[in-house]
Amino acid sequence: MGDAKDDIGLFSTWSMGFFGPFVFSNSLERALLFNSELNLPKEQILQHQAFIRILMTYVQTKDDPIIPDNYDPFKELTYMNKIARKLLEHPESLCYFNPNGEVLLSKEQFNDKLLHFQK
């Protein structure tokens, strides 16, 4: 996640938790170890140029609770997965990666998992 001397921008972003609360260095490499069915070469994935982080949060005012009364975590996760699925349709998209759980899935694997858990 960057180096304090060579890549201070990436390092400081990671150290402040902006990639998620449980992200540690080399999480992509570890995720590659656990997905033997991925159809992309490891070298191609490790040379990626960008990523998109999907984050949902709430604005708190002094009169409102941090989490709204009508909060529905399943609905929220379903909505975020729809966003991820749409992003995976882009022709330059390589795969789905969740660094917090070190999960790496091809587009097909992501869709299969969604279908499996929607039953």
φ, ψ (nearest 5 deg) of residue 118: -85, -10
pLDDT of 54 > 80? The answer is yes
Is residue 2 a part of any domain in this protein?
no
Q: What is the predicted pLDDT for the residue at 48? A: 81
Q: Are the beta carbons of 11 and 3 closer than 8 angstroms?
A: yes
Residue 110 main-chain phi, psi, to 5 deg: -60, -50
Is 90 exceeded by the pLDDT of residue 84?
Answer: yes
Residue 1 located in a structural domain: no
Q: What is the pLDDT of residues 37-52, one digit of tens each?
A: 777 788 878 778 888 8
Predicted confidence (pLDDT) at residue 11 exceeds the cutoff of 80: no
User: Is 13 inside any structural domain?
Assistant: yes
Q: What is the pLDDT of residues 88-102, one digit of tens each?
A: 999 988 889 888 888
A 10 A CB-CB count for 32 gives 18
Question: Is the residue at 54 inside a domain?
Answer: yes
Domain of residue 24 covers: 8-117
In a domain? residue 33:
yes
Query: pTM of this prediction?
Result: 0.75
- How many domains is the chain partitioned into structurally? 1
Whether 110 has a pLDDT exceeding 80, the answer reads yes
What stretch of H or E contains 97?
strand 96-98
Is residue 46, in this structure, part of any structural domain at all? yes
Confidence tier at 2 by pLDDT (50, 70, 90): low
